[in-house]
Structure 1
Amino acid sequence: MDTPFHIERRGGVFEFTLNRPKANAIDLETSRAMGEAFTAFRDDPEMRVALVTGAGEKFFCPGWDLKAAADGDAVDGDYGKGGFGGLQELRGLNKPVIMAVNGICCGGGLELALSGDIILASEGASFALPEIRSGTVADAASIKLPKRIPYHIAMEMLLTGRWLEAEEAARWGLVNRVVSAENLMAEARALADSLASGPPLVFAAIKEVVREAEDMKFQDALLRIKSSQFESVERLYRSEDQLEGARAFAEKRDPVWTGR
């Protein structure tokens, strides 16, 4: 098969562009390849942040490749590491992920976008969960979406399949902000570069705490931190970077982060 995505490494930025004409849909083989790519990003200490987008001007990703399904791809088949699209179930991903949604983002494509930490959308982007119309369930979105946006809006999307245009998606907090199509990647890359120059051990601690504490009571989560039960937090507290941060503040200079 043709290469289903393109990867560019720029400094500490891992830029991933899904590229499966015409619509950037994901079949089993592509999902498995994406899982390998994002696992490599996770495990590469030189890579600090991922930036994910779609090729072309119309589609970010519509999710599952229905043509591949018609040819025999099972909807419950082997999606590979990280589950569908390589990110949703990827364990230990303690690095920031930016989604630059450049067009139609629906079904499993929206679930992929929800796997990011920050979502930027072009003015022409649109979002939906049309699974209801094909008699199936958007399983990951059913779990994630009501926690990200108001319950009634999430349920309307899930139960009716209605579309949100970019501005409405931003109004409900589904995306961070909307930018013009011509500026989308420039703004996303500037954000990625900024994060890549930030403190990787702090980012790792933030991601682990947020992920693990999602379904915990506040006091239980805080007790886990105080009792040294978060590996990334303990690594941060024992790191050279934490000392560097304090020294840089005292010396009124920018810190130099090493991830150690």
Structure 2
Amino acid sequence: MPKKMSAARSKAIAGLLAATSLVLALSSCATYDVTAPADARDDAPAADVKAKDAKGGAGKGGNSPAKSADGDDVDCRKAKCVALTFDAGPSENTPRLLDILKKEKMHATFFMLGKNHVVKRPADVKRIDAEGHELANHTWSHEILTEIEPAKAKLELSRTQDAVQKITGKKPTLMRPPQGKTDGEVSKISRDLGLAQVLWSVTAKDYQTNDSALITKRVLDQTERDGIILLHDIYKGTVPAVPGILKELKKRGFTIVTVSQLLSPAKPEPGMVYRP
């Protein structure tokens, strides 16, 4: 007949099991998959690499502008690429920004807010799409996704997905979590909605200043190959800084691309966090 376990030992084992369960639960919530653009390209499926090579993307830095948002006209395995992204629009500043990008024959990724932006400026959303830029999701109302219930976080993303699709016929495949805050639950929601998550390596902190010269300096000081630049087309000082930023980046040999072009021949993987 087995010996009866002592109360002290039973209590100790119960405590250990509880602690183990808590660690597993916390790690499950906290973990998510992260990869850098260069690693994503290196790990691209062989079929996608073969297709990319067959199309013969451009590869000579700033002298080979990226002409479309599908990744066909530039090869960031060869070119010195940097992705240009804008958050929180569209706004009254966006048409001027689009004029600048059109003149320079460059494309960007626009992480758009649904409420007060996408739904109120559908003509700008249509133009962003029509001119070859990349449509992306920055939630409905800029709620911090890690601080709200999963159902609400999902709604923050799905409402903007639906709004963009209603205007353009397309659903974004990229999203940027407000303040860059994500976790395992947000990654699961993103995966379910077909959204890859995109963070950044360059920020001008243009929400702190309208000084266009300072914004330009901050961007140029931080930009390196395979970087992702974060700007906002809702602030007064940002759009006036863009021509100078583009000019100097080209001078330094950068090819300015969308996020999907930066990752190509890999395709954005839903749920994955892309961070330089």
Q: TM-score, normalised by structure 1?
A: 0.29
Larger-gyration structure (1/2): 2
Structure with the bigger RCO (C-alpha within 8 Å, sep 6+) is: 2
Q: TM-score, normalised by structure 2?
A: 0.28
